[in-house]
Structure 1
Amino acid sequence: MTETDVVIAGAGPNGLMLACELALAGVRPVVLDRLPAPTDEPKANGLVGQVIRQLDMRGLYQACGGEAGPPRPVPGWMFSAMPMSFVEVADNPMHALMLQQPRLVELLVARAGDLGVDVRWGHGVAGVSPTSGGATVAVESSDGPYDLDATYLVAADGGRSLIRKSLGIDFPGSTSDTVSRVAHVKLPDDLRAEDGTYVIPGYGPLPFGHTRLGNGGLIAAQFQPGRLLLGTIEFGRTDGVGDVPMTIGELRESARRVIGVDVPIEAPTGPGPHALRRIDGQNSRQASTYREGNVLLLGDAAHVHSAMGGPGLNLGLQDAVNLGWKLAAEVKGSAPDGLLDTYDSERRPVGERVMMQSLSQTALMAPGPEIDALRQLFGELMELPAVREHMAHLLAGSDVRYPVGDSHPLSGYLAPELSLDDGTRLAELLHRARPVLLDLSGGGFAASAGAWADRVDLVTGGSADTSVAALLVRPDGYVAWATDSPDGLGLPEALARWFGPA
């Protein structure tokens, strides 16, 4: 029996991100994955929402393909194939970054290695037994079975989580009456227009993204030149079809039903792997709790939903950044009472919001005159500035305010993008994943925070980007306390609430 502080089951993006967060805080977990190596199977194709700013707070934004400087918000997005403009939204929170999941995993594997994380490929969880001090994890590997005695176990093992099922944690929700198919395909070169798009005879150009049609939805995207990702959404379950492997011919027939003409797709050429999958009935489910004793759920193990709009990695990676510093504090014995419970109380409402908006998008893709009318009404509402602002925050995941115990307008939200007078950005101060007390009043808060200097970085300076006198920013980038005056009322209480007694 080997003892370890934290075991993470699953070396996908969420599990690896959590491992890196723990390592930054001085806790090096063991990460288990039954796959022999990172998979290059194409899944998610990009990141959207607040997580992009959090990657910037860890110094990962440029490595993930971002431009120099802070992340810039996108001018608009799609909601159930309806375009939305966010140009006039003040402090637009919506960000997007095209990054395929295998590349993200590659970056996080390298980062985990640099941080000394023990990632064990080909080591799968075969069973889990909760104990009074944590959990015993039964592991299967090519070298034979063994047990790990973990103080904390994190299930990042996907929507069919063995760990969640073993603990009997409920996973309530619904299954939509849809069939989604998607594949990388090849189209004849003579259908390619000068701008690189494909023009289908009898239909016209294949627009980027989702398109709603009379018989379902069409998805088309070229993330690399000449490599077309084509998909369909049809309403009406086909129970039993899921037992038969998906084929290009099946997708071609589905595309004909959706758009009414033949789409002459063929199997792709060139290096793979190529997407080829079917989802017969989309699950939208969330665990009844994200924590059961010393076992915690992360990512798809805690919630599954439609991929429409791209919220998946935004939700799961933010779970990891929220959990990492809290779990590390518990392991190191510096956490105040109840800190780890705030992982569930803060992140479950965000998961509920994602499920709500993803189900809404699915419903608005359905055929029928009633949905036609509803989409027309929704389009009219989207012309209202207040509605556009509401939707931008909903899709970015910034519309849920954490109950941090402070009433300042910034408290409970992701810290604003700001720079100090010397050019240092607040995001750069968070690269080490330590809390920061940013004193913009000239140094008047040092006495109040001095007893926490071993746990909180005190930074003094000025900034033309904000009028606040001071900000206490948690390691995940969320504001725990803020003030517009130099009196410092409430600061010691906020420091004790989140980072332990003085």
Structure 2
Amino acid sequence: MSYDVDVIVAGGGPVGLMLACELRLGGASVVVLERLTEVDPTIKAGSLNTPSVEALYRRGLLPGLQKAQEENLERFAAFMRQRLPEGEPAKAPPRFAGHFAGITLSADRLDPSDPDLNGHGPADLVGMVGQQQLEVLLAERAADLGVDVRRGVELTGFEADGDGVTVATGEGPLRGRWLVGCDGGRSAVRKLAGFDFPGTGPEITAHQAMVEMEGAEALGAGWHATPTGVYAHGPMPGRILTVEFGGTPVGRDTPVTADELQASIRNVSGADVVVTGVKTATRFTDNARQATTYRLGRVLLAGDAAHVHSPFGGQGLNLGLGDAVNLGWKLAATVRGWAPEGLLDTYTAERHPIGAWVLDWTRAQIALMRPDPHARALREVVTQLTETVAGTTHFVKKISGVWQHYDLPGDHPLVGGSAPDLELADGSRLADHLHGGGALLLDPAGELRVLVSGYDDRLRVVAEPVPGRAGLAGLLVRPDGVVAWAADTGQVDPGALEAALSAWLGAPAVAGAGARAARASA
């Protein structure tokens, strides 16, 4: 049977575009179907966590992220200047490290010696990047890689069989080997495929908007809990967020009006603001649901199509990007035919637990935002915890994603975690050698290459010393930046390296090649 393309991706937001780029790097052909004709201007996520920045950094996109962050920092400075009395000099604002349920976390209370918060290289210095900015950056990257992005084209149905998927669109049918739904919380792909989507129902009506308003000086900057809910003002001029309890949004598909926003702001803040203009606005609630599996036959899910939850704590976009990076190389390997048996099933196995954690993390924040006396008493206890170094460090480590780890075979402490951004003797960094999207074997002493023959089409060997980590004998990094095998000097087990290669990169391309053949000839 003939195919138009290897993979059809439904949804051209950041998750769909990130997945498409990863698939192209892995050698798969991709078509992205996006119903919108241009980037959605609706205000959405405003930050990236450490795993997301690391993934983008490893693909050479750090300069674009840095530029976007500089633009946002300028807007933040403008917001702070607006709040100063005339003639008063600007002061350095408190260092913001995130929030939990609107409880602000100060970077001044972080434990600088905590190893989990160090060693991420330039990725440590970037995070304040908006969703639209990232989408523009990824769209440019997709175009450079030759991804076929079809805007204004919507998936209207599909039929899946054992060999592929035939998708119906307004431009006619499209046949692919695989279909991935990256089409958001109301995913048509998820519904049509019949994925189970259990979870908990909503209890809030929330608004987020960029507005022009009179009386904004009566609003406090940052997050505030009030007798009627929670609101946030800033960090950009005109940005407002409100959370009200006691009901879910009505008219979800109708435009958010200035009157609606004004009423919500007044109800939660008590300030008599007047909204005179709406630049962008959205309603949302706190459904927390997750597909029981991320794959049914030839159909897969990623991002909000696989899991929905409230946006508090900035986890949604980052969770979806993690899905895309994990799935992309595995699906490309399956398309190309070198994937080991069961590789695609590790996508659900690795990503589902992290998604489940995010759902509980957001549910806990909703509980602390409730305006009832019991929740407010608990909120005060948690606030006291965040005023300690240990408490702030714990919350920031969770929010930043540095805790994320996959349960992979091997006793070395680096296995299963994100690869450290090591500086090599030639002045390059580990991330510089991951731009092409393949796996990497770091071979500081130049003694491991003989053990990996036959993998040249999917593995890059970098034989370069690591001055800052002299005891490291080798590091096998998957295409998604996860350490699959590591050994220190004097502890290299060729059999363990062979097992990791086989588990993640399949059989060598040359019969008889690889670690087993090298051992047999030794």
TM-score by length of 1: 0.88
Identity of aligned residues (%): 41
Q: Which SS does the other structure have where 2:462 is aligned?
A: strand
SS at match of 1:253: helix
What does residue 212 of structure 2 align with? 186
* Gap regions ≥5 residues in structure 1: 69-73, 192-197, 269-273
Please name the residue that 2:225 is paired with: 212
State the secondary structure of the residue aligned to 2:234: strand
Which residue does 1:362 correspond to in 2? Answer: 366
Are residues 1:256 and 2:266 paired? yes
Partner SS for 2:451:
helix
What code does the residue aligned with 2:197 have?
F
What is the CA-CA distance between 1:446 and the residue it aligns to?
A: 1.6
Corresponding residue for residue 217 of structure 2:
199
Counterpart for residue 275 of structure 1: 280
Do residues 380 (structure 1) and 406 (structure 2) align? no
- Deviation at residue 390 of structure 1 after TM alignment: 3.4
What's the CA shift for 1:355?
0.8
- Distance across 2 between alignment mates of 1:182 and 1:218: 10
CA distance in 2, matches of 1:67, 1:265: 28
Which shows bigger deviation, 108-117 or 372-381? 372-381
CA deviation vs aligned residue, 1:105-125 (integer Å, no higher than 9, x gap) = 222111111111111112211
After superposition, give the CA deviation of every residue in 1:259-280 in whole Å (9 maximum; x if it has no partner): 2231233214xxxxx222222x
Paired with 1:396 and 1:347, the residues of 2 have a C-alpha distance of 17
Q: Which residue of 2 aligns with 1:82?
A: 103
User: 1:170 maps to which residue?
Assistant: 196
Q: Shift of residue 63 of structure 1? A: 0.9
Is the aligned partner of 1:39 residue 2:33?
no
Is the deviation greater in 130-139 or in 382-391?
Answer: 382-391
| 1:60-209 matched pairs, under 5 angstroms | 60-65=61-66, 76-84=97-105, 85-88=109-112, 89-92=114-117, 97-141=127-171, 146-188=172-214, 198-200=216-218, 206-208=220-222
**CA distance in 1: counterparts of 2:51 and 2:130, whole angstroms:** 18
Q: Aligned-residue CA RMSD in angstroms? A: 2.2
Gap change, CA 1:370 and 1:475, over 3 Å in 2 = same
Of the structure 1 ranges 363-372 and 51-60, higher mean CA displacement relative to structure 2 is found in: 363-372
Question: Aligned pair 1:455/2:458, yes or no?
Answer: yes
Residue 407 of structure 1 deviates from its aligned partner by 2.0
The answer for unaligned runs of 5 or more in structure 2 is 70-94, 119-123, 509-522
CA change 1:429–1:401 in 2 (3 A) is same
**Which of the residues 406, 417, 424 maps onto 1:402?**
406
When residues 241 and 455 of structure 1 are mapped into structure 2, their CA distance, relative to the original with a 3 A threshold, is closer
* Residue 240 (structure 2) aligns with: 230
Aligned to 2:355: 351
Contact 2:117 2:402 in 1 (8 A): no
Q: For the residues of structure 2 that align with 1:331 and 1:222, how far apart are their CA atoms? A: 44
Deviations 1:272-315 (A, max 9, x none): xx222222x42111111100111110111001111112111111
Structure 2 residue 517 is matched with structure 1 residue 491: no
The residue identity in structure 2 corresponding to 1:91 is D
- In the TM superposition, what whole-angstrom CA distance separates every residue of 1:134-188 from its partner, at most 9, and x where no partner exists? 21111113xxxx2122111111111111111111111111123111022222134
Secondary structure in structure 2 of the residue aligned to 1:98? coil
User: How far apart are the structure 2 equivalents of 1:38 and 1:250?
Assistant: 25
Once residues 41 and 78 of structure 1 are traced to their aligned partners in structure 2, the CA distance between those partners, rounded to angstroms, is: 22
- What is the rounded CA distance, in whole Å, between the counterparts of 2:309 and 2:363 in structure 1? 8
Distance 1:136 1:296 in 2: 14
Say if 1:114 and 1:129 are closer, same or farther in 2 by CA, change over 3 A: same
**Kept after mapping to 2: 8 A contact 1:64/1:99:** yes
Within-5 A mapping of 1:420-459: 420-440=424-444, 442-459=445-462
> Is the contact between residue 290 and residue 356 of structure 2 (CA under 8 Å) also seen in structure 1?
yes
Q: Report if aligned partners of 1:41, 1:275 keep a CA contact under 8 Å in 2.
A: yes
Residue 271 of structure 1: aligned partner: none
Structure 1: distance between partners of 2:35 and 2:10: 9
